[in-house]
Amino acid sequence: MTPEILSLARYLASSRAEFTLSEMNLYLSRKYDEKELYESLKPHLYDLSLFCDARYKCTKLANQPLPADESIIRELEGMFKTPRLPARVEKLVESYIERSCGKDWHTGRKADLIRENIVKQKEEYWKGKSQYPRIRIISYLLYHFPVYFCQYQYLLLDLLRSGLLTTKMSILDAGAGPGTITLSTIDFLRKLLEVYSKKNIDVKLSIKIGAVEQEAENINCYKELASSYLSDLKLDNANITMAEPVSAPLETVKLPEDYDLIVFSNVLAEMDMPPEQRADVVERVASASKNPTIIIIEPADLVNSTALRVTQHALIRKGFNIFSPCTLIWGIGCTGGNCWSFEEPGSIQVPGFMKKIARTGEPYRYINTDMKFSSVILRRDGITKHAYRAKGKFARLANLKKHVGKRVNVAVSVMSGNLGDEKTFVFKVCDATTSVPCYAVLPAYHMNDNNKAIFDAGYGGIIEISGTLIRENRAFSSYNLLITRNTAVRIVN
């Protein structure tokens, strides 16, 4: 593209509310097709704050929160009731596998090797060289990718609800792997635009997505999947551009860009350093961003989940604040120690390619559909998902020792799904005052209209529990807050 085109576009963008690309020919030294002009300007539209539609009419794009009223959220929630990979993504992943391993990837010796690798990767001891060059990323696509793709969209939905997704956003996929987060973000925006269009809400989006990844193999996969997905999608109301992925370790990468959203999905745990030190990496990556939203996602197992809270706490000491899931109910922060908390939004539908690799005597070893993850969303501007603060009449969980055997009132966040069974429902609860684990325990025969709201609070939701009986569980060094038929539970966020 000639500098003439860009400088004219910059001038028109700053001096007109709208213009057509054909108009540009009036001022240029030679004539161009509109399409030609569009293609050369496309990578610059984000920086120019311009949106050019299918008829090549360009308008100024104001950055504002994406509409998210009740009916929009309800519609999206409906779409998430049966989480699954979109058909197009499923097809792209399967073609990628076919191109890498051949059409017969799911039969015979090749399938055995992939299965072996899935099991090894699952157990986190995959080492050495595989027979097929791309097998490592292949087993990741087959086993981990679908769940990670789907679970991330629940966090985006949360950001949308809270007004943290806007019409103009620069997003960084940090430790991108095959592009799980990039593809999932694009799919989420596609669904959202579908809802807007159904409701005749005119919203235009300008999105720029960058990525950092240290493995060349993964970058190749990322580029192939993400660019094919994007070029196939016809999104009339969105200009989504992808920057060339940066091939570097996150510890040393140079990122001068100001990002609005930075996502570390299942990457920090792979870093060979203590959890506190991972906070330095996050801080460095975000250092050029004015006010980013940072999402960190980790597996839900004890080691990775508790490590995330340690990293999270180190970030708080560096000046970040938790947007979600934790609420400082008494206005004071926890220590970040000994906290095992994760959410479980349900199961995804089994993608076709997963079914194919699972056609063995032990299919369950290759089927991965449970969404179960630990996450934190951080900001630097003090914004939190819930502003609730407890006052007066509630006991702090840090003081439960002196209330053992008595009934008290507490205000707590629900920090798990049901950890018990159908006879006894158990929820982890927290008010950020103690690192001693506390559980709300509701025997099914005590459940009634007065206390069943605990099921509707949702992960991170805040409830007031009135008249809960405190018991100490010495064997587990924890407290149980017994909810009986005389206990009231009220959602307060």
Interacting residue ranges for ligand SAM, rule: CB under 6 A = 145, 148, 175-177, 180-181, 212-215, 218, 249-251, 265-267, 270-271
Task: Report, in Å, the least distance between residue 320 CB and ligand SAM.
Answer: 20
Q: What kind and span of H or E run contains 282?
A: helix 275-285
Closer residue to ligand SAM, CB minimum distance, 121 or 424: 121
Q: Which residues of 199-235 are buried (b: 16+ CB within 10 A; e: fewer)?
A: eeeeebbbbbbbbbbbeebbbbbbbbbbebbbeebee
Closer residue to ligand SAM, CB minimum distance, 18 or 251: 251
Task: Report, in Å, the least distance between residue 146 CB and ligand SAM.
Answer: 10
Strands annotated E in 281-369:
293-299, 321-324, 343-347
Task: Report, in Å, the least distance between residue 290 CB and ligand SAM.
Answer: 23
Closer residue to ligand SAM, CB minimum distance, 151 or 434: 151
Query: Closest residue to ligand SAM, Cβ-based?
Result: 177
For residue 325, cis peptide bond before it (omega within 30 degrees of 0) = yes
Provide the sign of the torsion angle of the four alpha carbons 390, 305, 374, 276, taken in this order: positive
Closer residue to ligand SAM, CB minimum distance, 261 or 395: 261
> What angle (nearest 5°) sits at the alpha carbon of residue 100, between those of residues 208 and 126?
90
Closer residue to ligand SAM, CB minimum distance, 218 or 374: 218
444 alpha-carbon distance from chain centroid: 33
Task: Report, in Å, the least distance between residue 303 CB and ligand SAM.
Answer: 15
Phi, psi for residue 36 in degrees, rounded to 5: -60, -45
Task: Report, in Å, the least distance between residue 135 CB and ligand SAM.
Answer: 14
Length of the chain: 493
Task: Report, in Å, the least distance between residue 257 CB and ligand SAM.
Answer: 16
Task: Report, in Å, the least distance between residue 272 CB and ligand SAM.
Answer: 8
Q: Indicate the SS3 state at residue 321.
A: strand
Closer residue to ligand SAM, CB minimum distance, 176 or 322: 176
Complete DSSP assignment for 395-414: --GGGGGGGTTSEEEEEEEE
Closer residue to ligand SAM, CB minimum distance, 266 or 368: 266
Could you tell me the CA-to-CA distances from 49 to 10, 19, 201, 292 in Å, in that order?
10, 13, 20, 19
CA distance linking residue 271 with residue 377, whole number of Å: 20
CA distance linking residue 44 with residue 41, whole number of Å: 5
Task: Report, in Å, the least distance between residue 324 CB and ligand SAM.
Answer: 19
Closer residue to ligand SAM, CB minimum distance, 177 or 336: 177
